[in-house]
Amino acid sequence: MANLKKSKILVLPGDGIGPEIVDEAVKVLECLRENGLSIEVEHGLIGGAAYDKTNSPFPAKTIAQAEECGAILLGAVGGPQYDQVERHLRPEQGLLDIRAHLNLFANLRPALLYAELASASSLKPELVAELDLLIVRELTGGIYFGQPRAQEVEDNVRRAYNTMVYDENEIRRIAHVAFLAAQKRDRRLCSVDKANVLEVSLLWREVMEEVHQEYADVELSHMYVDNAAMQLVRAPKQFDVMVTSNLFGDILSDAAAMLTGSIGMLPSASLNQDNKGMYEPIHGSATDIAGKGIANPLATILSVAMLLRYSLNQQQAAQNIEQAVIATLQQGVRTQDIADANTKAVSTGEMGNAVIKNLQKILLV
Ligand code: NAD
């Protein structure tokens, strides 16, 4: 393992709109650095951009950089030009590899709906205005990785199977992340499973209860995943923190994201045991708008805030970024994805500059 440098941030722009939105986030980091935050920023390759240059979506140099840094900021990967590339060399494989390599087992996805954007949701504004929910998803286990898995032919009939498997240690470590996150918020944790049908969920529930003994100040509840999906669209503000397995979390966190109506606004974090993390917007490389300078950089800028909060323990800097984003929205600055018919949309760079201007004002106070 390379020497760990906690204040070093590795920036991996990736593909599509990745470089455009990451540029704006890096401007935010530079602004904080100029104002005294002790960080170093280094760039690297991942995904299709890495494949084009090195024939690998997660090349050796990026592995070394990822081991050495304290946190990673990622744009997005993927694009139709890689559809015919062999699966193990596709851009998305780069993402899976870096998550596995760094053991990023905890995925934190806030779904936050700023009052100014409540009309962007597909739900009635009163159901979602000021929604503030955090989904903690287990990311490196469960059915996406369980063995055995295969597609085969038996007696001329094709069959395929996957295995949903967790051991108690995997459940315990994600439980701790979720309880700790709940302690920093409204102290309510809802664990989502399918314990009425699945053995793996029964164990999940048992371990959640055991870990709860160490967090008496957090209220723990359990919900079946089908009900959780229903409750998320019926009354999403009832939740504070939800914790769930890889498959259920994949689906529920996308549903929660859409409650906010603005895929370009939501950041995410993937953490390992030592709070080293990779931070990225929840959206993809949006190849349909890449190169046009119209992508919303706010999810990436808010990913920087999460990075500073969870991996670098810079709470104040994180809050300053979030406040700068709120101030920018309050001024009515909108990229096209969050603009209404009466608002002239700004470009990616203009949105980034507006945030920087507000951040500079906040830093002067
Ligand atoms: P997407 O999230 O890239 O885009 C979905 C829609 O949302 C598009 O219409 C896009 O224009 C819009 N959108 C997304 N981000 C936006 C932003 N910041 N500002 C404004 N509009 C935005 O999903 P997709 O179109 O299904 O996938 C495109 C590529 O991204 C595919 O190659 C896919 O594999 C990849 N992908 C990567 C990641 C990742 O890197 N983590 C995640 C999802 C998809």
Is 274 a residue of the active site?
Answer: no
Is a pLDDT exceeding 90 seen at residue 31?
yes
Q: What would the pLDDT profile of 155-191 be if each residue is shown by its tens digit?
A: 999 999 999 999 999 999 999 999 999 998 999 999 9
> 263: Cβ below 6 Å to ligand 1?
yes
Is a pLDDT exceeding 70 seen at residue 1?
no
- Residue 223 burial (CB count, 10 A): 18
Cα 348 to middle of ligand 1, angstroms: 15
Is 226 a residue of the active site?
Answer: yes
What pTM value is reported for the model?
0.91
> Per-residue DSSP letters for 257-300?
HHHTT-GGG-EEEEE-TTS-EEEEESS---TTTTTTT----HHH
Q: Which of 12, 285, 292 gets mutated to test ligand 1 (max ligand atoms within 8 A of its CB)?
A: 285
Q: What's the whole-number mean pLDDT along residues 287-297?
A: 97
Cα 263 to middle of ligand 1, angstroms: 9
CA gap 147, 166 in Å, rounded: 11
Write down all domains in the chain, each with its CATH number in brackets.
1-105+272-365 (3.40.718.10), 111-266 (3.40.718.10)
Cα 24 to middle of ligand 1, angstroms: 18
Q: Which of 107, 258, 280, 283 gets mutated to test ligand 1 (max ligand atoms within 8 A of its CB)?
A: 283
Is 144 a residue of the active site?
Answer: yes
Question: Containing H/E element for 353?
Answer: helix 348-364
Output the CA–CA distances (angstroms, integers) from residue 198 to 166, 191, 204, 206, 322, in the order listed: 12, 15, 10, 13, 40
Give the model's confidence band at 120: pLDDT under 50 very low, under 70 low, under 90 confident, else very high. confident
> 283: Cβ below 6 Å to ligand 1?
yes
Is 250 a residue of the active site?
Answer: yes
The Cβ-side half-sphere exposure at 195, using a 13 Å CA radius, reads 15
Cα 160 to middle of ligand 1, angstroms: 29
* 196 φ, ψ (degrees, to nearest 5): -80, -10
- Helix 199-212 to helix 168-183 angle (10° resolution) is 50
Q: Specify the amino acid at residue 146.
A: G
pLDDT on residue 199 = 98
> 110: Cβ below 6 Å to ligand 1?
no
Active-site residue among 167, 226, 274, 340?
A: 226
Active-site residue among 144, 186, 224, 237?
A: 144
Atom of ligand 1 nearest to the CA of 47: 40
